């Protein structure tokens, strides 16, 4: 069986081995997929050892996505623009292809699973850290009417806007700058939710919102999704679908076949509840 793995620190709670094992079963592919804990200072050695032992590809998670970006010898356009890599494919000639499937996973979850096309929609992305950075290109490629990035530190949002200027216009500001504005889709990509916190959002921001999406996945409704629901958002979703869809994109890169995701998304939601 071809070997794959997810590498991170911590890694214990990763759902990737479960997801990829289900994908393999469903598509009749014979692979083995494990979870590897890398010490914080030996990411590179961990990757090399896995490759030397016959590994064909890896997923990379927190906190190694930037290091993975520098280790890759070739980059897909979406990985280059994200400046972060969550998928390696080890090529026969020794090259390491670095890809980033997070944004594609988010877009697919929103459009295909949740049924909300992004084209011509007004999007508000909350946060300007690594998680936000990783999804900007795939969002812009869907040609939304508007992409606005709100962040606690406005300078970081402005930097992203400059960096992606060739791909499309991005408006920026602080969270509270957008009082009275209407957006169709809100995407939460700050790390505030990890502490069960929430960025300060203007009153009324969720009124008639088609979709409030939290990139975090949590057993309970996150503070962001609670506010969204209370504030009148028509649909709310956590990052479970994105998690499974980014995995499906990686599987496609490795195996040339796209697995079906809805049943697995369901299974993970059930495991959590």
By annotation, the residues acting in catalysis are 65
Residues 75-94 vs ligand ATR: string with x where CB under 6 A? --------------------
Question: What is 180-220 written as a DSSP string?
Answer: T---SEEEE--SGGGGT------TTTTTT-SEEEESS--SS
Judged by CB under 6 A, which stretch of 52-60, 158-166, 188-196, 261-269 contacts ligand ATR? 188-196
Rule CB under 6 A: say whether 127 interacts with ligand ATR: yes
Instruction: Please answer whether residues 105 and 254 qualify as being in contact, where contact means their C-beta atoms are separated by less than 8 angstroms.
Output: no
Contact between 199 and ligand ATR by CB under 6 A: the answer reads: yes
Q: Quote the least distance from Cβ 206 to ligand ATR, whole Å.
A: 17
Per the annotation, does 86 bind a ligand?
A: yes
Contact between 144 and 119 (Cβ < 8 Å): yes
Candidates 97, 128, 140, 236; binder of ligand ATR (CB under 6 A) is 128
> What is the smallest separation between the CB atom of 87 and ligand ATR, expressed in angstroms?
16
Using CB under 6 A as the binding rule, whether residue 125 contacts ligand ATR is answered as: no
Site string for ligand ATR, 4-33 (x = CB under 6 A): ------------------------------
129 binds ligand ATR (CB under 6 A): yes
**Sign of the Cα pseudo-torsion (169, 172, 176, 177, in order):** negative
Four-point Cα dihedral 104, 22, 2, 256, nearest 10: -40
Q: Is 130 in the site for ligand ATR (CB under 6 A)?
A: yes
Determine if residue 16 is labeled as part of a ligand binding site: yes
Nearer to ligand ATR by Cβ, of 136 and 237: the residue is 136
**8 or 55: whose CB is closer to ligand ATR?**
8
Q: Is 192 in the site for ligand ATR (CB under 6 A)?
A: yes
131 binds ligand ATR (CB under 6 A): yes
Select the span of 41-49, 96-104, 189-197, 251-259 touching ligand ATR (CB under 6 A): 189-197
Q: Candidates 152, 174, 218, 269: give the one binding ligand ATR (CB under 6 A).
A: 152
- Contacting positions for ligand ATR (CB under 6 A): 127-132, 151-153, 156, 190-192, 197, 199
What residues form the annotated binding site for NADP(+)?
77, 127-131, 151-156, 215, 239
């Amino acid at each position: 069986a071809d070997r794959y793995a997810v590498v991170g620190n911590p890694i214990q709670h990763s759902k990737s081995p479960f997801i990829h094992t289900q994908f393999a079963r469903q598509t009749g592919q014979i692979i083995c997929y494990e979870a590897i804990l890398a010490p914080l200072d030996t990411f590179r050695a961990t990757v090399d050892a896995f490759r030397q032992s016959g590994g064909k590809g890896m997923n990379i998670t927190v906190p190694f996505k930037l290091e993975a970006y520098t280790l890759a010898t070739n980059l897909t356009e979406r990985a280059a623009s994200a400046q972060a890599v969550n998928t390696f494919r080890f090529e026969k000639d020794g090259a390491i292809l670095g890809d980033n499937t997070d944004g594609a996973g988010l877009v697919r979850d929103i459009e295909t699973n949740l049924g909300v096309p992004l084209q011509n929609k007004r999007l508000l992305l909350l946060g300007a850290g690594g998680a936000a950075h990783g999804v900007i290109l795939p969002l812009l490629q869907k040609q939304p009417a508007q992409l606005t990035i709100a962040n606690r530190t406005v300078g970081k949002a402005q930097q992203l806007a400059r960096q992606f200027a060739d791909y499309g216009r991005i408006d920026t500001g602080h969270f509270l700058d957008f009082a009275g504005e209407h957006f169709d889709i809100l995407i939460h990509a700050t790390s505030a939710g990890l502490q069960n916190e929430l960025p300060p959002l203007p009153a009324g921001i969720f009124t008639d919102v088609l979709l409030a999406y939290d990139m975090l996945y949590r057993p309970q409704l996150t503070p962001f999704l609670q506010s969204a629901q209370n504030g009148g958002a028509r649909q709310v979703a956590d990052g479970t679908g994105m998690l499974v869809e980014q995995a499906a994109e990686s599987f496609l890169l490795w195996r040339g076949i796209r697995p079906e995701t809805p049943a697995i998304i369901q299974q993970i939601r059930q495991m959590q509840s």
